C-alpha cells in the first residue's frame, strides 16, 4: 500500500551542492533559491557541517565514496545525483552512494523542485521500510523464544492454547511486546518471572 505523498516544508531548508564551480551549479543554485532554500556549494568533499543539510546534490561524474562524511550508501538525508555521463558504471556508483533522485546535466531552468519532492519521498519511504523490516526481523528472531515460553507455561498444566492466551495477557499487563514477554518467561526458567510470582496465574 502506498502512503500519500507529503509536500515537504522547503522554506529555509538547507541544500548542499557537491560539485565543482560550473554553470550547472549556477543554474541549480538559481532554481533552489527561487524555491526558497538556503544553498551552499562545496567541492571536492562535504564538510562535517553537511550532516545538518536537508538535501545533498552531488556530482555523479566525478564522485567517489570518500566525498561523504557517512558510511557508503547510508546518507542521513535525501540525495540527488547530478548526472552528466550516463555510463552504466557511474549510474551504478550513484545508486550505491544512495541517490534518491537525479537531475541530468546540463541543469537548466527546471527539474529541481520535482527532484526535491521525489528524493524526499523516496528517502522517507526507505526509512519507513527499514524500520518495518528491522521490527519484523526482531519478531522473527523471537519466534523460538515464544515457542519455549508457551511450552514452559503449558508445562504447568495448561493447554497450548491457554498458555498462548496467558502469554498475550502478560504482555498486555506489562505493556511490552509479545516477544519481549516471552523472553522474560524464558529468562525466569520455570515459567514464573522474577518478581511476578503468580500475579497473573488463574
Partner 1 sequence: MTKRRIEIGLLYSRSGSYSLISEACRSGALAAIAELNADPGIDLSFVAVERDPEGNVDLYGPLCDEILSETSARHVIGCVTSWSRKEVIPTLERHGGTLWYAVPYEGFEASDHVVYTHACPNQHLLPLLDWVIPTHGGKAYLTGSNYIWGWEMNRLARERIVRAGGTILGERYLPIGSRDVGRMIEEIRYARPDFILNSLIGPSSYEFLAAYRELGRQDDHFAPSRCPVLSCNMTECELPAIGMAAEGMVAAGPYFRGIEGWPGKGRFGSSHEAAAYVAVRELARLLSHRPGAEAMSLSQLLAEAGTDGGIIDPETHHTVLPAIIARVEGGAFRLVHRRDGVAGDPYLTRSAQSPVPPQLRVVSS
Query: Does the footprint of partner 1 cover residue 108 (CB under 8 A)?
Result: yes
Binding-site member from 12, 66, 157, 195 for partner 1 (CB under 8 A) = 12
For residue 10, the 8-state DSSP code is -
Among 1, 7, 48, 194, the residue binding partner 1 under the rule CB under 8 A is 7
Rounded least distance, CB 103 to partner 1, Å: 15
Nearer to partner 1, 7 or 194 (CB): 7
Q: How far is CA 190 from CA 58, 156, 197, in A?
A: 58, 9, 11
* DSSP state string for 14-51: EEEEES-S-HHHHHHHHHHHHHT-EEEEE-SS--GGGG
Q: Examine residue 3 and tell whether it contacts partner 1 (CB under 8 A).
A: no
Paired sense of beta strands 101-104 and 55-59, if any: unpaired
Closest approach of Cβ 58 to partner 1, in Å? 23
Q: How far apart are the first and last CA of the chain?
A: 42
Binding residues vs partner 1 (CB under 8 A): 7, 9-12, 27, 30-31, 33-37, 108-110, 113
Amino acid at each position: 500500500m502506498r502512503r500519500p505523498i507529503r509536500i515537504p516544508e522547503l522554506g529555509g531548508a538547507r541544500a548542499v551542492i557537491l560539485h565543482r564551480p560550473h554553470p550547472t551549479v549556477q543554474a541549480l543554485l538559481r532554481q533552489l533559491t527561487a524555491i526558497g532554500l538556503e544553498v551552499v556549494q562545496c567541492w571536492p568533499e562535504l564538510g562535517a557541517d553537511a550532516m545538518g543539510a536537508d538535501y545533498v546534490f552531488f556530482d555523479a561524474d566525478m564522485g567517489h565514496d570518500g566525498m561523504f562524511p557517512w558510511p557508503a550508501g547510508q546518507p542521513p538525508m535525501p540525495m540527488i545525483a547530478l548526472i552528466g555521463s550516463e555510463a552504466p558504471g557511474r549510474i551504478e556508483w550513484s545508486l550505491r552512494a544512495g541517490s534518491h533522485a537525479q537531475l541530468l546535466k546540463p541543469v537548466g531552468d527546471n527539474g529541481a523542485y520535482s527532484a526535491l519532492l521525489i528524493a524526499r519521498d523516496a528517502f522517507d519511504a526507505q526509512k519507513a521500510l527499514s524500520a518495518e523490516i528491522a521490527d519484523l526481523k526482531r519478531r522473527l528472531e523471537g519466534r523460538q523464544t515464544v515457542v519455549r515460553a508457551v511450552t514452559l507455561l503449558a508445562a504447568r498444566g495448561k493447554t497450548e492454547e491457554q498458555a498462548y492466551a496467558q502469554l498475550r495477557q502478560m504482555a498486555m499487563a506489562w505493556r511490552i511486546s509479545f516477544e519481549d514477554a516471552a523472553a522474560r518467561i524464558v529468562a525466569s526458567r520455570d515459567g514464573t518471572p522474577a518478581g511476578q510470582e503468580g500475579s497473573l496465574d488463574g
